[in-house]
Amino acid sequence: MNRKEYIGTLRRHLRGVPKDDLEDVLDDYREHFEAGLEEGRSEDGIARALGSPKALARQLKADFMVQRAEDSASIENILRAVLAAAGLGFFNLVFVLGPFLALVGVLFALFAVAVGFTFGGLTGIVAIILSSIGGYGYTIGGHPFIGLIFMIGLSLGGLLFVMVDMYLARAFAGLTVRYLKWNASIIKQEG
């Protein structure tokens, strides 16, 4: 593979990387070719020494996505970083994507329960107030006041649960980025 083919393949597989970063990476690899040619090596030999441009692009893209997630820990950036890391091999698919999806599912379930408590309590408050006004006598625990206190507690507990879940989600995002960085460093050491 000559320099033009190598750089072209690398460019194609680095789709999605911002143009400035992409050009920096491509310039670095053009310099590798120039330095190798000055040493008297062939373009094909340089390309073989650099390794597969597809594998290199996957690694560079994963590094870039992890850095982007570290700089701005949005759901989109973290998900892209996880998917890029999962694309590095079967090991990462099992040990990055699997646990990530499981923990996201747990966080989502906790959030759904918290929202359910909050809205369930609010609905109960409205039902008790309306039934008291209409004379229907809807009660919990024998007296509308006891039911009202219970529903207010349920709503406030749900709101507290939402706040705790948001804290857990932020902590999970930070831990995910740190894990991806650690994982990337392990892969680089193996490569």
pLDDT band at residue 19 under the 50/70/90 scheme: confident
Domain coordinates in residue numbering, the chain: 81-190
Name the residue among 111, 113, 107 with its Cα closest to residue 173.
Answer: 107
Position 93 pLDDT exceeds 70 = yes
Q: What is the C-alpha separation between 95 and 92, in angstroms, rounded?
A: 5
Q: Over the stretch 26-59, which tens digit does the pLDDT of each residue have?
A: 999 999 899 999 999 999 999 999 988 998 898 8
Give first-to-last CA distance, the chain, whole Å: 21
**How large is the average pLDDT for residues 76-88?**
84
96-141 residue pLDDT tens: 888 888 999 999 999 999 999 999 999 999 988 888 787 666 566 6
pLDDT at 190: 63
**Which of 16-25, 134-143, 164-173 is modeled with the greatest confidence?**
164-173
Q: Rounded to the nearest 5°, which phi and psi values hold at 137?
A: 70, 35
Mean pLDDT score of the chain, rounded to an integer? 87
pLDDT at 28: 92
DSSP readout, 68-109? HHHHS--HHHHHHHHHHHHTT-HHHIIIIIHHHHHHHHHHHH
Candidates 176, 1, 188; CA nearest to 80 is: 176
